[in-house]
């Protein structure tokens, strides 16, 4: 058994590098939090544990970015959006589709993980992203 990991954003990114999309779940009220918090923002309990999220979600809103920070310039224009997971938690994410015209509110998306070290180095952006379901 490995030691339980702290509910921190650093550990969240470490999980991403292991291709795991993780949230923290409150032991008491089952509320799921991403990014992770050590105290439940629903019931204030400090008993939280990591839980692995599924890979499926739905696009609830998005915007197309034309002016990007240097790390993302090669991707412009690209979409960022909010994805609602089956577990009910909402995640901000880069949305990758073959053509931006294909973006639709409510479309099914699937989590994937960036292997581009340039993107991984940018601290403001998680290493996960969402793409069209195959
Ligand atoms: Zn709670």
Structural domain 56-132, CATH architecture: Beta Barrel (2.40)
Most confident of 73-77, 83-87, 118-122: 83-87
| Burial profile 7-37: b = 16 or more Cβ within 10 angstroms, e = fewer | beeebbbebbeeebbbbbbbeeeebbbbebb
Q: How far is the CA of 68 from the centre of ligand 1 (A)?
A: 37
Residue 116 reports pLDDT greater than 80 = no
pLDDT digits (tens, 9 = 90+) for 77-111: 999 999 999 999 999 999 999 999 999 999 999 99
Distance between CA atoms of residues 120 and 30, nearest Å: 30
Q: How far is the CA of 28 from the centre of ligand 1 (A)?
A: 5
CA angle 99, 103, 109 (to 5 degrees): 105
Q: Where in the chain is the domain with CATH 2.40.50?
A: 56-132
Residue 121 reports pLDDT greater than 70 = no
pLDDT value at position 64? 96
How confident is the prediction for the chain on average, in pLDDT? 89
Q: How far is the CA of 8 from the centre of ligand 1 (A)?
A: 17
Q: How far is the CA of 71 from the centre of ligand 1 (A)?
A: 37
Distance between CA atoms of residues 98 and 53, nearest Å: 25
User: Average pLDDT in the 33-61 region?
Assistant: 96
Q: How far is the CA of 10 from the centre of ligand 1 (A)?
A: 22
User: Average pLDDT in the 21-32 region?
Assistant: 96
């Amino acid at each position: 058994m490995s030691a339980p990991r702290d509910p921190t954003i650093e550990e969240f990114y470490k999980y991403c590098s292991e291709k795991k999309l993780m949230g923290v779940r409150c032991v008491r009220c089952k509320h799921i939090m991403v990014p992770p918090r050590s105290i439940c923002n629903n019931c204030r309990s400090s008993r939280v544990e990591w839980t692995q999220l599924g890979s499926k979600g739905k696009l609830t809103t998005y915007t197309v970015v034309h002016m990007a920070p240097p790390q993302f310039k090669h991707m412009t224009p690209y979409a960022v959006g909010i994805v609602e997971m089956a577990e009910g938690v909402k995640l901000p994410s880069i949305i990758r589709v073959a053509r931006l015209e294909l973006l639709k509110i409510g479309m099914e998306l699937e989590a994937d993980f960036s292997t581009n070290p340039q993107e991984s180095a940018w601290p403001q952006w998680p290493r996960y992203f969402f793409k069209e379901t195959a």
